Structure 1
Amino acid sequence: MRLVPIQYVKAGSFLAKTIYDDKGTILLREGVQLTESYIRRVKLLGMFAMYINDEYSEKGVEDIIKPELRQKAVKTIKETFYSFEKFNLNVGKSSVQDKKLILEKQNYFKSIREIGVEITEELLARKSVLINIVDIKSIDSYTYQHSVNVAVLSLVMGIQLQLDRKKLYELCLGALIHDIGKALIPEDILKKNGKLTEEESKIVKEHTVKGYDFLKGSVDVPATSRVIALQHHEREDGKGYPEGRKGNEINDLAKIVAVADVYDALTSERPYREAMSPNDAVEYIMANGQIQFNYDLVKAFSKSIVPYPEGTVVRLSNGEVAVVEEVYPNYTLRPKVKIIGVKNEEVYRDLRNELEIVIVGPQYVIEKE
């Protein structure tokens, strides 16, 4: 199974993972043979990629959390965003309506808190915290899917740092709702197909304060989780926002979410730019230790994230195409790979020992001889 950008998917391929819409309804079931019509339908939904099965990737890329839990989390976050919009549009119109809106708000945050606990327990039950985050995102649901990915990435780092359960719960909840303030940012700005103007950038940056203000008084959201929504764009060097905090002035859990937030954003396709390759995104994070991010957190991140999991087809700097066979802890950018296209023998390279060769990026089109 491998993730292939939609423009490279060919009719006749077999779908490896079920595709859902943003309401959790099944659109295409795992195992179906793809036709041009099916591929066009997925494109119209704004999805950028599909998982397919082929001869080159026998090993499956396993999601770190159950698909049904991921879908439930995305759905709940989306509904919470809509509730936030409705609350701000209608609050103050009548005391009866206000009570109803406040109750609805509390119920959604209670649901997200419960999902956060469920995700945390699922990750704690895993034998290894080495993970790959590769999700199928659509334009319309990007913010909600991004929130779930950021929560998972943050938790993996938190587990690597040996945080206690209480801290992990607070971290996961804060990550799930870190972008709640974007519900009040105009959609035409959030989905703009191009560079934002200075005024538009200023409006987007307001999401941290707006989200924090909205979370005040929510009994199901701990103070630490609320601070994550406020501070996840602060930087170690003091050049972040909204308050220009630096170093120890920034909440420790917000620092973790900051790393996860940037990594998932960089590796996601957006209407205005292509996704950065996972290895380039990891290198970006590592290069910005003590500048944008806390250095100790960057080290924990680099030990936890697997940019190219087993089964990924990759392109090497020497021009060869290979399948990742084995990933090593602490050397996640230098796995053991099996070369594709060599006749009558199996050729392997252990990139820990062949330091002159690096992975350039994923390979989507494989030429048959």
Structure 2
Amino acid sequence: MRFVPISAVKEESYLAKTLFDNNDRVLLKKGVKLTNSLINRIKNNGIYSIYINDDYSDNEIEDVIRPELKQKAVSAVRETFINFEKYNDYLNKKFANKAQEKQIIKQRQEYIKSIGDISKSIIDEILQKKDIMINLVDIKSADSYTYQHSVNVAVLSLILGIELQLNKFELYDLCVGAMLHDLGKVLIPEDILNKPGELTDEEFDVVKEHTVKGYEYLKNSLDISASARMIILQHHEKVNQEGYPNHLDGNKINKLAKIVAIADVYDALTSDRPYRKAMSPSEALELIMASGGTHFDYNMVKVFATKIIPYPVGTLVKLSNDAIAVVEKVHPDFPLRPVVKVLTRKDINGNDIYIDLMQDISIVIENVQYEAP
């Protein structure tokens, strides 16, 4: 399978991963042959990139957690965020009585418990697997982006947290805090969050309020730990004191918040947004590595880089010798130097050409190729 922008998808290719609509219902099942009408249906649901199988790639890539568990987590995050919005409406006197407030607070407790239960399931599932590498980027619809992003950040954070040898209690707080890290965004106007152009300084100031608003909502809740609440407040702090909301020095930023900061940016960069197209995993990783020691904790970035596969099996790439190739095998310790099969030429006997970039160091991958040769 390979991940391609919907604009590059051709008829007769096959959908390699099931798609869900904005209400977490199956939109199209894995394996369906794509037609122009189905491609347009995908576009109309605000999905800009998908996984396909075609003549160049029909491999399987295993999900880190089961799709049904991921969808359950997305639904739990959605319900929790909606509950926060209702509570804010009450504070703004859109509801008239105390009974309404009690009901909302009771629901909050139920939703936070649901987040906690799902966090335990996600942790157990990931811990059962050995040496997990991040070789997928998630498919997100425009309308459900925040909820899907929240779950993805939790999974990415856990993979990094396990590699950093956090104990199970820390992993639990990490997962809960990561799933709720963007809670305050429900109070940010959608026209600002989804603005196609660059934000003004005033608009960015509004966006930055989401960390404090989410934290304030949960700061007196006994259902969520202090460490998880710190993730919500501090996931945009930077180790060079240029983050927000409090411009903290790196030594004063919560350890779990530092982990979520890396996962948050990686997932955001590899996601399609109204104001830009998704970066490839390799481009996103390069940006994060370049920010180690300034935006992010340097040692955590080094560990994170060992867990990313920038060019998963099935990726079409352009090589420095101008050849177009498909990644056939990834070396776990050297993911930037995979084995590739050249697609644009054969050897003198008409056989496929395979290049092990670990052996032929004169050739490098220049970029990801989405259009088939």
User: Same fold per TM (> 0.5)?
Assistant: yes
From 254, 257, 261, give the equivalent of 1:251: 254
Aligned to 2:206: 203
Per the TM alignment, residue 358 of structure 1 is displaced from its structure 2 partner at its CA by 2.4
- The corresponding residue for 1:76 is 76
CA positional deviation for 1:209: 0.5
Q: Which amino acid aligns with 1:365?
A: E
Q: Which ranges in structure 2 are unaligned for 5 or more consecutive residues? A: none
Pick one of 336, 357, 368 that aligns with 1:351: 357
What corresponds to 1:150 in structure 2?
A: 153
Distance 2:278 2:267 in 1: 10
Alpha-carbon separation, structure 2, partners of 1:304 and 1:77: 26
Question: In the comparison of the two structures, how many residue pairs are matched?
Answer: 367
Q: Measure, in 2, the Cα distance between the counterparts of 1:128 and 1:323.
A: 24
Name which of structure 1's ranges 337-346 and 180-189 shifts more when overlaid on structure 2.
337-346
> 2:65 aligns to what?
65
In structure 1, distance between residues paired with 2:152 and 2:366: 24
Q: How far apart, CA to CA, are the structure 2 residues paired with 1:238 and 1:146?
A: 25
The answer to whether the 8 Å contact 2:53/2:59 transfers is no
1:322 paired residue number:
325
User: What displacement does 1:321 show?
Assistant: 1.7
Residue 295 of structure 1 pairs with residue 298 of structure 2: yes
* Cα distance in 1 for residues equivalent to 2:77 and 2:312: 28
Q: 1:361 offset after TM fit, Å? A: 2.7
Deviation of the 1:5 alpha carbon: 0.8
CA shift for structure 1 position 297: 0.1
1:114 aligns with 2:117: yes
Say whether 1:260 aligns with 2:263. yes
1:34 equivalent to 2:40? Answer no
Counterpart-to-counterpart distance in 2, 1:287 and 1:19: 33
* Root mean square deviation, CA, Å: 1.4
Measure how far apart 1:12 and its partner are: 2.1
> What is the letter of the counterpart of residue 240 of structure 1?
G
1:128-207, aligned counterparts within 5 Å?
Answer: 128-207=131-210
Q: CA shift at 1:143, angstroms?
A: 1.1
Question: 1:239 and 2:242 equivalent?
Answer: yes
- What TM-score results when the alignment is normalised by the length of structure 2? 0.95
Determine if the alignment matches structure 1 residue 45 to structure 2 residue 45.
yes
Equivalent residue number for residue 369 of structure 2: 363
**Letter of the 2:371 counterpart:** V
- 2:87 maps to amino acid: F
C-alpha contact 1:302 1:330 (8 A) present in aligned 2? no
Deviation, 1:250, is 0.4
Kept in 2: contact 1:237–1:292 (CA 8 A) = yes
Shift in Å at residue 116 of structure 1?
1.2
Aligned counterpart, 1:2: 2
